[in-house]
Amino acid sequence: MNAKKITLVLILIIVHSLCFCQEYWEVIYEDEATIRCIEKDIIGNLYLGTQDCMYISYDNGLSWNETNFQGCCISFLFELDTLFVSNVDGIYISFDNGATWQLTNFPATAGPMMKDSSNNLFAANWGHIYKSTDDGNAWNIVLSTNSNEIFNDLIETSEGLFAASQHYMGEGGLYRSIDQGDNWELIGLNYHFLSSLAINSNGELFAGSRGHYTQAIGGVYRSSDNGETWETLTNQFYVTDMVIDSQDRIFVGCNEYTGFVWMSEDDGETWNQLESQIMTIAEIQYLTISEDDHLYAISYGDYPVNKVYRSLDSTKINGNTIKINSCELSNFPNPFNPNTHIRFALDYNSHIKLVIYNTKGQSVRTLANENVLDELFYEYSWNGMDDNGNQVSSGIYMYKLVTDQETFTKKMIMLK
**Judgement on whether residues 253 and 398 belong to the same structural domain of the protein:** no
Q: How far apart are CA 353 and CA 407, in angstroms?
A: 10
Q: Classify residue 416 by its DSSP letter.
A: -
What pLDDT is recorded for position 266?
Answer: 92
Choosing from 287, 311, 335, the residue where a domain stops is 311
Q: What is the pTM of this model?
A: 0.74
Residue 47 covered by a domain:
yes
Asked if residue 247 and residue 332 are part of one domain, the reply reads: no
Whether residue 5 lies inside any domain: the answer is no
Domain termination site, one of 265, 283, 311: 311
Hey, what's the torsion of the CAs at 185, 191, 192, 194, to 10 degrees?
40
Alpha carbon distance 212, 214 (integer Å): 6
Asked if 266 and 344 sit in the same domain, the reply is no
CA 125 to chain centroid:
20
Q: How many domains does the chain have?
A: 2
Q: Are 28 and 63 in contact (CB under 8 A)?
A: no
What backbone phi and psi angles, to 5 degrees, belong to 13?
Answer: -65, -45
Is 12 within the bounds of a domain?
no
Q: Same structural domain for residues 251 and 354?
A: no
Measuring CA to CA, which residue among 150, 211, 216, 156 is closest to residue 180?
Answer: 156
Residue 117 belongs to a domain: yes
The DSSP secondary-structure symbol of 19 reads H
Burial of 355 (0-12, 13-18, 19+ CB in 10 A): buried
Q: What pLDDT, on a 0 to 100 scale, did the predictor assign at position 133?
A: 95
Q: Is residue 209 part of a domain?
A: yes
Contact 372, 345 (CB under 8 A): no
Based on the fold, state whether residues 191 and 251 are members of the same structural domain: yes
| pLDDT given for residue 50 in this prediction | 94
- In the listed set 311, 335, 357, which residue is the last one of a domain according to the structure? 311
d(CA 181, CA 139): 12
Surface-to-core class of residue 307, CB atoms within 10 Å of its CB (0-12 exposed, 13-18 middle, 19+ buried): buried
Domain co-membership, 277 together with 397: no
pLDDT in tens, the chain (416 residues): 444 443 333 333 333 333 334 678 999 999 989 999 999 876 778 999 999 999 998 888 888 999 999 999 999 998 766 899 999 999 999 987 788 899 999 998 999 999 998 889 999 999 999 999 998 999 999 999 988 899 999 999 888 999 999 998 878 899 999 999 999 999 999 999 999 999 998 889 999 999 998 888 899 999 999 999 999 999 988 999 999 988 899 999 998 777 789 999 999 999 998 877 887 667 899 999 887 778 999 988 766 789 999 998 877 544 344 444 445 677 878 778 888 888 887 778 889 899 999 877 788 999 999 998 876 778 899 999 999 999 998 888 888 888 887 777 788 888 76
Residue 112 lies in a domain: yes
Q: Give the CA radius of gyration of the chain.
A: 23
Residues 58 and 140 in one domain: yes
Same domain, 269 and 354: no
In degrees rounded to 5, what are phi and psi of residue 258?
A: -125, 20
- Does some domain include residue 13? no
Residues 379/368, Cβ–Cβ less than 8 Å: no
Measured CA to CA, the distance from residue 323 to residue 198 in angstroms comes to 22
User: Do 256 and 207 sit in the same domain of this protein?
Assistant: yes
One domain for residues 402 and 305:
no
Let me know: does 161 contact 177? Beta carbons within 8 Å: yes
d(Cα 107, Cα 90) in Å, to the nearest integer? 6
Whether residues 386 and 270 fall in one domain: no
pLDDT value, residue 242 = 96
What is the span of the domain harbouring residue 98? 23-311
First to last CA, the chain: 67
**286 - beta bridge partners?**
298
Query: Residue 103 belongs to a domain with what CATH number?
Result: 2.130.10.10
At 326, give phi and psi (nearest 5°): -95, 5
Strand ranges, E, within 158-264 = 160-167, 174-177, 185-188, 192-199, 205-212, 219-223, 231-234, 239-244, 250-254, 261-264
Q: What is the CATH number of the domain that holds 373?
A: 2.60.40.1930
272 within a domain of the structure (yes/no): yes
Is 149 found in the same domain as 230? yes
Digit-coded pLDDT (tens) for 111-125: 999 999 888 999 999
